[in-house]
């Protein structure tokens, strides 16, 4: 009987202490092979231990339009304020979508734009949404077209109904930040509608000048039918800059087109505007994404909803991702670069916060890693209000830096 009681006690002790032991080993990198296992494991190991000084600061500083979550280096949630209320995150959503992309690609992978040929006179221009694609690249690609009595040139593109994700407003579509998301985009479609049809005219004029005696037909080819092109010969190609550079453009400069293009390639969703794969990816890692909603990959949609608690738990788990250093390197840095370059310049906080901003009308968000004594505190601040106060969010970041940690 005593042996049975002892055995039960040992089992209970192991069940209670094992997660904490694993967490200790992860934090102190005692067993590095555990990192990748934990990153992909469908569970999170964390604790809640309130920090009175942080709690007092949040209550003293904020109103109910704010949500805040703070986690220390040991994976302990030490302070929160309205942290389970779903809010519009604006470009803070890129923290998730860029990580998803990084999990599907190697750092030196590229996006490819190809020219394919079928028979003697049928050509297909096929792209992957390279944000830096330009007319010089197009000339380089189509220089391989050969003279023929009839030249059929097909531009492979998605349905126009899919140019914009759900929740992008008509006003958004008037500006460069709301450019249509297409697989063949000249300089990220910064001229909006014009670039899509200007490409067709450009190719037609180029081929007519080169082959004045040929009949040139330029058509759009539905990208949903690309299965017809599987066995067609590729005769030319150009590559984008490496994925890591594109992710830096996404996060540091908050480039919406690049965020959307990369996610569509990584998730193989060029022919739909469904972002459920992002939510499932988070849920499969044990993260509390049940009440989250993802309507795009850039954060421009007003239909997106996340919690600050989800953000910090996610960023904490990213620390155990094999390419975490690369991921963190894509973020803005206070006083150094990106959307945070002009914040805390020539101050002690310069270079200490690696994060992501998010701005829409009635939305401001600020999330990332604040380094104190070379150890990160993970912070997420989101405000949804018709009276946005960005300065309050940055003051809170500064106060948290100088306030003694618990």
pLDDT confidence bin for 161, thresholds 50/70/90: very high
pLDDT at 20 over 60: no
pLDDT in tens, 57-90: 999 999 999 999 999 999 999 999 999 999 999 9
Cβ atoms of 42 and 285 within 8 Å: the answer is: yes
Name the 3-class secondary structure at 272.
Answer: coil
Residue 14: band (very low, low, confident or very high) from pLDDT cuts 50, 70, 90: very low
- Band (45; pLDDT cuts 50, 70, 90): confident
The more confident residue out of 196 and 164 is: 164
Asked if pLDDT for residue 267 goes beyond 80, the answer is: yes
Q: How far apart are CA 241 and CA 133, in angstroms?
A: 10
Tokens for 363? 């939305």
Contact 381, 89 (CB under 8 A): no
Contact 358/90 with Cβ under 8 angstroms?
yes
Lowest mean pLDDT among 42-51, 131-140, 317-326: 42-51
DSSP annotation string for 69-82 = EEE-TTSEEEEEES
Q: What pTM did the predictor assign?
A: 0.91
Q: How far is CA 342 from the centre of its chain?
A: 22
Q: What mean pLDDT is predicted for residues 240-263?
A: 98
- pLDDT digit string (tens) for 122-151? 999 999 999 999 999 999 999 999 999 999
pLDDT for position 9: 56
CB atoms within 10 A of CB 234: 13
Tokens at residue 256, please? 């919406």
DSSP assignment letter at 30: S
* CB neighbour burial string for 186-223, b if at least 16 within 10 angstroms, e if fewer: bbbbeeeeebbeebbebbeebbeeebeebebebebbeb
Overall average pLDDT of the 13-34 stretch: 56
Cα-based torsion angle of the residue sequence 307, 321, 253, 371 in order, rounded to the nearest 10 degrees: 80
pLDDT bucket at 47, cuts 50 / 70 / 90 = confident
For residues 379 and 69, is the Cβ–Cβ distance under 8 A? yes
Instruction: Average the pLDDT over each of 47-51, 207-211, 349-353 and give the range with the smallest value.
Output: 47-51
Lowest mean pLDDT among 25-39, 47-61, 168-182, 255-269: 25-39
Do 125 and 153 contact (CB within 8 A), yes or no? yes
pLDDT score recorded for residue 320? 93
Spatial distance between the Cα atoms of 74 and 25, rounded to a whole number of angstroms: 11
CA distance 257 to 387: 28
For residue 112, is pLDDT > 80?
A: yes
> Please, which pLDDT band fits residue 189 given cuts at 50, 70 and 90?
very high
CA-based Rg of the chain, rounded to a whole angstrom? Answer: 25
Residue 18's alpha-carbon distances to 29, 273, 392, in angstroms, are 16, 42, 40
Asked whether residue 260 carries a pLDDT value surpassing 50, the answer given is yes
Question: What integer is the mean pLDDT of 384-393?
Answer: 97
Q: What is the DSSP letter of 123?
A: E
pLDDT of residue 24: 59
pLDDT of residue 70: 97
Q: How many CB atoms lie within 10 A of CB 332?
A: 23
109 Cβ neighbours under 8 A, 6+ residues apart: 242, 243
pLDDT exceeds cutoff 60 at 94: yes
* Average pLDDT of span 163-184: 94
Residue 11 has pLDDT above 60, yes or no: no
**Where residue 277 falls among pLDDT bands split at 50, 70, 90?**
very high
- Sequence-distant (6+) residues with CB within 8 A of 400 are 54, 57, 70, 370, 377, 379
Q: What is the mean pLDDT of the chain?
A: 91
Per residue in 326-375, pLDDT (tens digit) is 999 999 999 999 999 999 999 999 999 999 999 999 999 999 999 998 99
Alpha-carbon span 138 to 205, nearest angstrom: 12
Q: Cβ distance 298 to 97 under 8 Å?
A: yes
Element (H, E) at 221: strand 215-222
Q: Is residue 3 over pLDDT 60? A: no
- Average pLDDT, integer, range 42-71: 92
| 164 vs 174: CA distance, rounded Å | 12
Confidence check: pLDDT of 196 > 90? no
The CB density around residue 160, as the number of other CB atoms within 10 Å, is 12
Q: How many CB atoms lie under 10 A from the CB of residue 151?
A: 22
Q: How far is CA 284 from the centre of its chain?
A: 18
Is it the case that residue 16 has pLDDT exceeding 50?
A: no
Q: Which of 145-149, 189-193, 314-318, 336-340 has the lowest mean pLDDT?
A: 189-193
* 254: DSSP letter: -
d(CA 284, CA 335): 36
The DSSP result for 139-151, as a single string, is HHHHTTPPP-SEE
pLDDT-above-90 percentage for the chain: 80
Query: Tokens representing 289?
Result: 């994404």
pLDDT of residue 210: 97
């Amino acid at each position: 009987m005593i042996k049975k009681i002892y055995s039960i006690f040992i089992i209970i002790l192991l069940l209670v202490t094992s997660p904490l032991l694993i967490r200790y080993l992860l934090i102190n990198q005692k067993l590095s092979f555990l990192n990748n296992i934990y990153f992909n494991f469908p569970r999170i190991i964390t604790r809640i231990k309130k920090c009175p000084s942080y709690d007092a600061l949040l209550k003293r500083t904020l109103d109910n339009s704010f949500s805040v979550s703070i986690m220390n280096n040991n994976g302990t949630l030490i302070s929160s304020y309205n942290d389970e209320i779903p809010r519009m995150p604006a470009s803070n959503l890129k923290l998730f979508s860029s990580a998803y992309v990084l999990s599907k690609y190697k750092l030196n992978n590229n996006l490819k734009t190809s020219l394919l040929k079928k028979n003697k006179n049928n050509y297909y221009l096929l792209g992957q949404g390279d944000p830096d694609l330009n007319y010089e690249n197009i000339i380089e690609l189509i220089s391989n077209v050969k003279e023929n009595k009839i030249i059929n040139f097909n531009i492979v593109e998605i349905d126009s109904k899919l140019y914009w994700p759900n929740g992008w407003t008509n006003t958004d579509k008037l500006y460069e930040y709301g450019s249509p998301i297409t697989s063949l985009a000249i300089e990220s479609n910064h001229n909006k509608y014009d670039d899509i049809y200007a490409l067709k005219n450009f190719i037609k004029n180029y081929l007519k000048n080169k082959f004045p005696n040929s009949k040139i037909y330029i058509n759009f080819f539905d990208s949903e039918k690309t299965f017809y092109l599987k066995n067609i010969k590729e005769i030319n190609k150009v590559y984008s800059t490496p994925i890591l550079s594109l992710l830096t453009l996404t996060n540091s400069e908050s480039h919406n087109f690049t965020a959307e293009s990369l996610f569509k390639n990584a998730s193989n969703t060029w022919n739909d505007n469904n972002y459920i794969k992002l939510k499932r990816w988070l849920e499969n890692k044990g993260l509390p994404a049940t009440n989250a909603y993802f309507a795009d990959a850039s954060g421009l949609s007003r239909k997106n909803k996340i919690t600050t608690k989800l953000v910090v738990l996610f960023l904490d788990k990213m620390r155990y991702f094999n390419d975490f250093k690369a991921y963190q390197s894509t973020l803005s840095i206070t006083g150094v670069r990106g959307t945070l370059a002009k914040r805390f310049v020539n101050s002690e906080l310069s270079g200490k916060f690696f994060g992501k901003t998010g701005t829409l009308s009635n939305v401001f968000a600020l999330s990332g890693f604040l380094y104190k004594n070379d150890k990160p505190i993970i912070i997420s601040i989101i405000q949804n209000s018709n009276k946005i106060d960005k300065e309050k969010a940055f003051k809170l970041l500064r106060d948290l830096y100088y306030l003694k940690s618990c």
